[in-house]
Structure 1
Amino acid sequence: MFRNQCDDSVLVKDYINGKEAALELLIKRHQQRIFSFIYSKVQDRDVTEDVFQDTFIKVIKTLKRGNYNEEGKFLPWVMRIAHNLVIDYFRKNNRMPKFNNSEEFDIFSIISDNSLNAEKRIIKDQILSDVRNLIEELPEEQKEVLKMRMYMDMSFSEISESTGVSINTALGRMRYALINLRKVIEKNKIILVN
């Protein structure tokens, strides 16, 4: 493993110094891991291929400009780029986490306005960050179901299959996750809409 990290940094230097084949080796070495990571987030093969290509276009541009300084940490750097592009994909396609729930309040309904000015965009980003932090405080089982439903667009049937619990259990965990989020929001007097 350590040897591969050294090899990565050597290949990066070789590519920067004009050896095009070095980049091909880097891509082949990490292709499966990066592709799988992207696919796990977007759940669509065509989108995954687009994001994968965009990731390496960004990698190439950064390396060619001489802006790469992640010595020996090539894969984590590329994974961060891929992660950011996945987020960009969801934002561009207005697919940021949404959940329509008639019984409980809808935390995510505040993020559907495409014509936000800069101030509102900053507030929206802060709210999303706050909500993500709140989600991390939930019990593991509730957090898992909530993330699968809202961030991965999985159906309750898919969640049931993935977690090995019944659909009713998955629905129950989602319900309790939303109830617990609401309690924390009220307790901490967090304002989700301005």
Structure 2
Amino acid sequence: MKSMNTLSDQQLIHLYLDGDVEALTNLVHRYKDKIYTSIYLLVKDKYLAEDIFQDAFIRVIDTINGGRYTDEGKFLPWAMRIAHNLCVDHFRKVKRSPSIKTSDDRDIFEVINFSEAGADEKMMQGQSHERVRKLLEMLPEDQREVIVMRHYADLSFKEIAKLTNCSINTALGRMRYGLINLRKMMTEKQIAL
């Protein structure tokens, strides 16, 4: 029998359906970092990202157990789509819940600072920001430009596309490849933020 690490996603799913729970565990471990990171980048909250990650794999398992998973060799994109949809559902739910607004129409919880960060936390945060800035400088200019406009200037992809004279899909692609390259550089340099 091959090592579980060398088996394809489809082989692991078939083993799981045949009763090998370890095959599913291996599949989860294979993609947990990619899926968790994509969730975290959307929700920007560690604990919420963990909850959504768990919900995503519960859905994955339920779908596989229910015989509704179609074996097309695209497990990761399928699992990522489930995670993304759960993030969208979360934001829809939050949007429907009432919020307390200040006179200038800002959410009260964005205005109130419940705890001041300690000196050590500020220093670590500063170091992390510096590492990210250095990594950003290593990206191709078109990718760096989109990431900076999106995350630092808080522009929409529509605004970015207009400013850079490209389509929205091109702006999205540049963002995606920029983030992939950043993750790759962080892995190569063993940088943790």
Q: TM-score, normalised by structure 1?
A: 0.49
Q: TM-score, normalised by structure 2?
A: 0.49
Higher relative contact order (CA 8 A, sep 6+): 1
